[in-house]
Structure 1
């Protein structure tokens, strides 16, 4: 049976669209936890809860799990760090997977994970609001059908516990750029970029110098486009591998035995030995080391997969900060004007938690991230838990899920003997 029940409840199949009973206009009580988000963080939380005997229901706005990787990732995307650092709890990647699985392989892994743990989910369902009801001591989660579900309807679910797992990358982020709306060429966010095949012989400006921006610039160059890359902020570029071993894996091992400053110094020295002086090509080096920044801010350094060689050869141009865009080009902070045919905004994503979560007791910032990391990033108050919003990637989400399951299972055990059902009210 599904992990929730109520008068006139709707019993859902694993795909969230098999109705076995007639819907009634009453809230549906979820025994255990409601998990908002069907990405890696939500799946990890659901699996860890199940291993502790706690049922859960995943509510996901898309038509399946892993929608960011499935629909909003470019074709050549691979994991930037080795697969062992991206495994979800209690389920390893297949042995025949490469060290850096590609987009399809990772999506297949997530789907197999979902099936392996026999999870329950409601897909094509968008959470409009989630708020705490002090009278019933439950979280009220109101939903509406996604645009893809024309036959769906608004519902309300209630549970003692709510897990926020909608992710740091829930919504594409497009910054305000003066003149961008007047640009006559094509403008796409990286979430809608798939391949450079349609950009041959075009001058393309890539705005954003993270791992995605660097790899998109490489992809464009490989398809005979003429990409230029905006590098506004200081950034570390590291070779993806050190003597055939993942740089990230080497750094993680070193951090267990040496001070952080020593690990950073070794990484910076090795980068200089392998790539040369990156500042000669328009990259400013941050004052903090790469792993210090990773630990403090959660920002992964750029792990080069071939882009820098293209930059050194001149196939990819590096531009300073962007001042404004004109109908046929862009002016940069060095007052140089360059004409472009297209713009790709590799400007990242952001959390959408402030759009739907109410009554968070001040746990989140206005940007939808935990406010005080020193007090932890996975547990708030009144049965509210958070998975994958601590800016520590999939590895951090795995730790969050295990902490959540351990803590929540104790609360669930103390409630289970009461067979508590929240008071339900008609709409």
Structure 2
């Protein structure tokens, strides 16, 4: 298991993110394989607590983890059926020749940095959401956040807590769900099933047609519960939806990996006018002092946060393995024609290459499936 070069410690992938970051689903959904979280933990786990747990987990489970290591690329040898994997560890180049490579880098690849009109002329600080740290560095400042997904809301709320003047720029409608009670409805099986394994089976073995029916029913109930919240958001110009086919935030996640917000208080700030929202269609361009709107007015800013998402996993693969491998594998994530998640936890068109991603629940459950696939492949004879 490799860690990124700048993240020598196991938990740094979480620890080095912005201070306000927490898991947005309940602790009982997120237990690690073989070693569940303590029963005393909070419902929504903060990032530093999770980072410390990862370090303890690696030690307790005796995982061979390489921190300070970067995977720089690989090539597959069709004759030997092995990879030539190029690693840089603590600055030193290494070459490994495994039979199998698992990319467990998640759905978020390289940050998506859009070419926004005039952004190069902006005189203040520009950062992507992945590099944002904390509002304490911007006390009393003025910030423009491009995007309205989970990270955008978390950062807006953090900046507001540090007395910054915050404006969010909405590019498309967002599905907004209250953490409690609405988001908790989807996790109900984890509070009623006898064991964690039973809950995983119930939650992740539903056939696709039934999953759609269940999602529509769940979303209809969520709409009832969140009527007042969504009405208040719409009244101040924040656009909302409930996804394709009214299937809600969970299907948005499975189809495109984003487009929703699990509310932990930021929506109330928006509805009260304490955090402003403008539509992207009403903006003109950035200027040195901030963001100019089409009507000629100016939103002053010292900071621009690009909460604009990430490139797709296929594009991340392209950067690591090249066009030929990326094109052979095809799209990663989302549903295929059979209602299965594309190229996840199963053989791909590229021999010896596997993928895992998703939330803790999915990774915990499907890691077993992936392990069985690789164990079977390792038992197959290799060319002499």
- State the TM-score, normalized to the length of structure 1: 0.74
Query: Does structure 1 residue 360 correspond to structure 2 residue 360?
Result: no
1:246 aligned residue: 184
1:223 aligned residue: 162
Q: How well do the aligned residues superpose, as a CA RMSD in angstroms?
A: 2.9
Distance (Å, rounded) in 1 between the aligned partners of 2:180 and 2:368: 30
1:75 aligned residue: 19
Cα distance change on mapping 1:313 and 1:60 into 2, 3 Å = same
1:134 aligned residue: 78
Matches within 5 A, 1:95-134: 95-134=39-78
Instruction: Tell me the SS of whatever aligns to 2:354.
Output: strand
1:269 aligned residue: 224
1:306 aligned residue: 265
Distance (Å, rounded) in 1 between the aligned partners of 2:163 and 2:93: 48
Distance (Å, rounded) in 2 between the aligned partners of 1:369 and 1:333: 38
2:195 aligned residue: none
Q: 1:386, CA displacement in angstroms?
A: 0.8
Query: Does structure 1 residue 349 correspond to structure 2 residue 293?
Result: no
Aligned with residue 112 of structure 2, among 173, 178, 193: 173
Matches within 5 A, 1:378-417: 378=344, 379-380=347-348, 381-388=350-357, 392-415=358-381
Q: 1:336, CA displacement in angstroms?
A: 4.5
Distance (Å, rounded) in 2 between the aligned partners of 1:116 and 1:107: 14
Distance (Å, rounded) in 2 between the aligned partners of 1:129 and 1:246: 40
> 1:63-103, CA deviations, whole angstroms, 9 ceiling, x for partnerless residues?
132443122x1101110111222223222112221010101
Higher helix proportion:
2
Cα distance change on mapping 1:221 and 1:251 into 2, 3 Å = farther
The answer to which of 233-242 and 355-364 deviates more is: 355-364
Q: 1:372, CA displacement in angstroms?
A: 6.8
Query: Does structure 1 residue 92 correspond to structure 2 residue 36?
Result: yes
Cα distance change on mapping 1:335 and 1:373 into 2, 3 Å = farther
> 1:325-352, CA deviations, whole angstroms, 9 ceiling, x for partnerless residues?
1111113467653222221222233343
Aligned length: 351
Distance (Å, rounded) in 2 between the aligned partners of 1:387 and 1:295: 13
> 1:226-258, CA deviations, whole angstroms, 9 ceiling, x for partnerless residues?
111111111111111018x83542599998796
Counterpart contact for 1:218–1:307, Cα < 8 Å: yes
2:198 aligned residue: none
2:289 aligned residue: 328
Aligned with residue 369 of structure 1, among 332, 355, 375: 332
1:162 aligned residue: 101
Distance (Å, rounded) in 1 between the aligned partners of 2:32 and 2:18: 22
Distance (Å, rounded) in 2 between the aligned partners of 1:260 and 1:81: 17
Instruction: Tell me the SS of whatever aligns to 2:304.
Output: strand
Instruction: Tell me the SS of whatever aligns to 1:241.
Output: helix
Q: 1:360, CA displacement in angstroms?
A: 2.7
Counterpart contact for 2:255–2:333, Cα < 8 Å: no
Counterpart contact for 2:85–2:95, Cα < 8 Å: yes
Distance (Å, rounded) in 1 between the aligned partners of 2:317 and 2:61: 26
Distance (Å, rounded) in 2 between the aligned partners of 1:111 and 1:131: 31
Q: 1:361, CA displacement in angstroms?
A: 6.7
1:42 aligned residue: none
Counterpart contact for 1:231–1:318, Cα < 8 Å: yes
Q: 1:293, CA displacement in angstroms?
A: 2.4
Cα distance change on mapping 1:320 and 1:102 into 2, 3 Å = same
Task: For structure 2, list consecutive stretches of 5 or more residues without a partner in the other structure.
Answer: 193-201
Instruction: Tell me the SS of whatever aligns to 2:327.
Output: coil
Counterpart contact for 1:183–1:326, Cα < 8 Å: yes
- State the TM-score, normalized to the length of structure 2: 0.81
Instruction: Tell me the SS of whatever aligns to 2:143.
Output: strand
Q: 1:104, CA displacement in angstroms?
A: 0.6
Task: For structure 1, list consecutive stretches of 5 or more residues without a partner in the other structure.
Answer: 1-34, 39-58
Q: 1:170, CA displacement in angstroms?
A: 4.0
2:276 aligned residue: 317
The answer to which of 327-336 and 339-348 deviates more is: 327-336
Distance (Å, rounded) in 1 between the aligned partners of 2:134 and 2:112: 20
Distance (Å, rounded) in 2 between the aligned partners of 1:285 and 1:331: 24
2:199 aligned residue: none
